[in-house]
């Protein structure tokens, strides 16, 4: 007998009554005096005045279950514990990744705009946990307004003695440096971010050595995303068990969901992890615009595998459920597409982006991203044929896991999964003479497929 189908349930508990903590509804919270009235810097004050051992903070963050919000979902406490023992005279650094360049991702900027002091506090707590006294905030250059506003707020915090020397009279020092990036997607990859911070061209580094061993200026460094670090003061305020008990058990905590595309109410929404993707689309965002049908969703920024409408049923917004459901949580930047979207032209735009953004260091990525764009463009313009579809998948095989950084994978996954999951749309755009059941008889089709005159042209 067939097992009864499980009714999908949200892991986000009673999300409708959830009270926001990263972006609480407090007017002018971005201003230091308002932030101070609402508890800013008190978690840092607590660990400093109570003389917490660094390990205690790392253990607390581990116990909270916090996983990085920058895309890979790695355990934050574990990452901090990879920092080597102190060496006299050797500096250590924290770098906060605010490059936010993955298409469909626009949540870190909400923190820059609405709650920068939570971030500054989280960065200093991160620095404390790893034994650093300097924390860099790398922000993409396009966020010029947020940068100026954060610089103003940071200067106020320095003036009040909340950042800098001898914090809370405990003798502990911590500087925050805001660094404006130069606007390339690759600068968000952690090793190229460090190259860029050092004033060099943002070419990713070969790993190992990992940043904890050899990071900024060859010193031990930890890199964390903005939202990740903003969670740290909340863990100390409310306790690791509060954090661990919120949302999906294996991927807990509050999460900023950035929803864009064909929904009635796009935006950034804060709820616990583990929400049903369909609750997010239909309840939070008011469903599909114009009463149309849902066609596809990219649930975690442009590089993660696309889901068909059927695949969205029952999947929840956490790493495990997304993996089992055929995609990844990534940055929780959810791109929603309605029934009118042409998946070939969607993929054409995506491949153009990754081709444009490849740094060119590795051959499979430099050449592969170019060929992906060329082939998808050719299909989109009605000049492709069926073999191009297999060629696309074979190009992906030759890119994934074969390069210095993960940009090549990020470029290949959308192609692999859009072509596989929406193949009939791609076939329909291929030249009719090579489509089975098209103008040509099966025998002639065989001849055409075997035609050695088939050449890729520039």
Interacting residues toward ligand FMN by CB under 6 A: 68-72, 74, 79, 97, 99-102, 185-186, 188-190, 223-225, 228, 405-407, 410
Q: Distance between CA 283 and CA 381 in Å, rounded?
A: 37
The distance of closest approach from Cβ of residue 74 to ligand FMN in the complex, given in angstroms and rounded to an integer, is 5
- Find which of ligand SF4, ligand FMN, none residue 360 binds, CB within 5 to 8 Å per kind: ligand SF4
Contact 133, 175 (CB under 8 A): yes
Binding-residue pattern over the window 179 to 208 for ligand SF4, x denoting contact by CB under 6 A: -------x-----------------x----
**Cα separation, 30 vs 323, whole angstroms:** 36
Tell whether residue 405 is a contact of ligand SF4 (CB under 6 A).
yes
Q: Cβ atoms within 10 A of the Cβ of 366, count?
A: 15
Q: Token pair 């250059």 is at which residue? A: 141
Size of the site for ligand SF4 (CB under 6 A): 14
404 part of the interface to ligand SF4, by CB under 6 A: yes
Residue 22 within binding range of ligand SF4, rule CB under 6 A? no
Stretch that binds ligand SF4, among 80-88, 148-156, 169-177, 355-363 (CB under 6 A): 355-363
Provide the minimum distance between the beta carbon of 206 and ligand SF4 in the complex, in angstroms, as a whole number. 9
**Is residue 403 a contact point for ligand SF4 (CB under 6 A)?**
yes
Binder among 361, 379, 380, 430 for ligand SF4 (CB under 6 A):
361
The yes or no reply on residue 359 touching ligand SF4 (CB under 6 A) is: yes
Question: Among ligand FMN, ligand SF4, none, what binds residue 384 when CB lies within 5 to 8 Å by partner kind?
Answer: none
Query: What sign does the CA torsion over 208, 214, 215, 220 have?
Result: positive
Segment near ligand SF4 (CB under 6 A); pick from 12-20, 58-66, 359-367, 423-431: 359-367
Stretch of 84-92, 155-163, 376-384, 400-408 lying at the interface with ligand SF4 (CB under 6 A): 400-408
93 SS3 class? strand
Select 190 or 338, whichever has its Cβ closest to ligand FMN. Answer: 190
| SS percent in the chain: helix, strand, coil, step 5 | 45, 15, 40
Characterise 83 by phi-psi region: left (phi > 0), alpha (psi -120 to 50), beta (else): beta
Q: Are 102 and 331 in contact (CB under 8 A)?
A: yes
CA–CA dist 301, 29 (Å, integer): 28
135 or 343: CB nearest ligand FMN: 135
Q: What are phi and psi of 7, to 5 degrees?
A: -75, 125
Please list, in sequence order, all residues whose beta carbon lies within 8 angstroms of the beta carbon of residue 270, skipping any fewer than 6 positions away: 18, 20, 21, 22, 23, 254, 255, 256, 257
Binds 101, which of ligand SF4, ligand FMN, none (CB < 5 to 8 A, cut-off by type)?
ligand FMN
Cα angle 188-403-345, degrees, rounded to a multiple of 5 = 70
| Binds 366: which of ligand FMN, ligand SF4, none (CB < 5-8 Å by kind) | ligand SF4
Element spanning 172, H or E: strand 172-180
What are the start-end ranges of the E strands in 294-344? 294-298, 307-308, 333-338
Residue with smallest beta-carbon separation from ligand SF4? 365
Provide the minimum distance between the beta carbon of 326 and ligand SF4 in the complex, in angstroms, as a whole number: 24
Residue 408 interaction partner, one of ligand FMN, ligand SF4, none, beta carbon < 5-8 Å per kind: ligand SF4
**Which C-beta is closer to ligand SF4: that of 302 or that of 403?**
403
Beta strands 247-248 and 221-225 are unpaired
- 290 scored as a contact of ligand SF4 (CB under 6 A): no
Q: Which residues bind ligand SF4 (CB under 6 A)?
A: 186, 204, 358-362, 365-366, 403-405, 407-408
């Amino acid at each position: 007998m067939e097992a009864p189908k499980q009714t999908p349930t949200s892991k986000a508990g009673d999300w409708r009554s959830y009270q926001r903590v990263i972006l609480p509804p407090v007017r002018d919270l971005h201003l230091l005096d308002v932030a101070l009235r609402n508890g800013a810097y008190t978690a840092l004050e607590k660990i400093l005045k109570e003389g917490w051992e660094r390990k205690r903070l790392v253990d607390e963050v581990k116990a909270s279950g916090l996983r990085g919000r920058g895309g890979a979902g790695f355990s934050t406490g574990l990452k901090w514990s990879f920092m080597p023992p102190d060496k006299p005279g050797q500096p250590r650094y924290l770098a906060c990744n605010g490059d936010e360049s993955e298409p469909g991702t626009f949540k870190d900027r909400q923190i820059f705009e609405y709650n920068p002091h939570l971030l500054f506090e989280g960065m200093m707590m991160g620095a404390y946990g790893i034994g650093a006294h300097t924390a860099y905030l790398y922000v993409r250059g396009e966020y010029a307004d947020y940068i100026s506003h954060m610089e103003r707020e940071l200067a106020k915090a320095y003036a009040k003695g909340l950042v800098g020397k001898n914090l809370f009279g405990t003798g502990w020092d911590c500087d925050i440096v805001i660094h404006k990036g130069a606007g390339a997607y690759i600068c968000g990859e952690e090793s190229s971010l460090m190259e860029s911070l050092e004033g060099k061209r943002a070419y990713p580094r070969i790993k190992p050595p990992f940043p904890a061993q050899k990071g900024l200026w060859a010193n031990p460094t930890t890199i964390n995303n903005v939202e990740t670090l903003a969670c740290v003061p909340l863990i100390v305020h409310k306790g690791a068990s509060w954090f661990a008990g919120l949302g999906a058990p294996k991927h807990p905590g509050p999460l900023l969901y950035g929803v864009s595309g064909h929904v009635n109410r796009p935006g950034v929404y804060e709820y616990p992890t583990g929400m049903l993707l369909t609750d997010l689309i239909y309840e939070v965002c008011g469903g599909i615009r114009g009463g149309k049908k849902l066609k596809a969703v990219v649930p975690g920024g442009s590089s993660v595998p696309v889901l068909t409408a059927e695949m969205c049923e029952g999947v929840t917004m956490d790493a495990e459920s997304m993996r089992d459901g055929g995609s990844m949580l990534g940055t929780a930047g959810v791109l929603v597409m309605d029934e009118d979207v042409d998946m070939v032209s969607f993929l054409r735009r995506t491949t153009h982006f990754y081709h444009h953004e490849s740094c060119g260091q590795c051959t499979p990525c430099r050449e592969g991203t170019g060929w992906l764009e060329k082939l998808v463009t050719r299909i989109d313009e009605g000049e492709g044929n069926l073999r191009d579809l297999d060629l696309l998948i074979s190009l992906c095989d030759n890119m994934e896991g074969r390069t210095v950084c993960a940009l090549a994978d990020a470029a290949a996954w959308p192609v692999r999964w859009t072509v596989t999951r929406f193949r009939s749309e791609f076939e329909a755009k291929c030249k009719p003479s090579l489509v089975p059941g098209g103008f040509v008889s099966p025998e002639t089709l065989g001849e055409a497929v075997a035609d050695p005159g088939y050449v890729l042209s520039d």
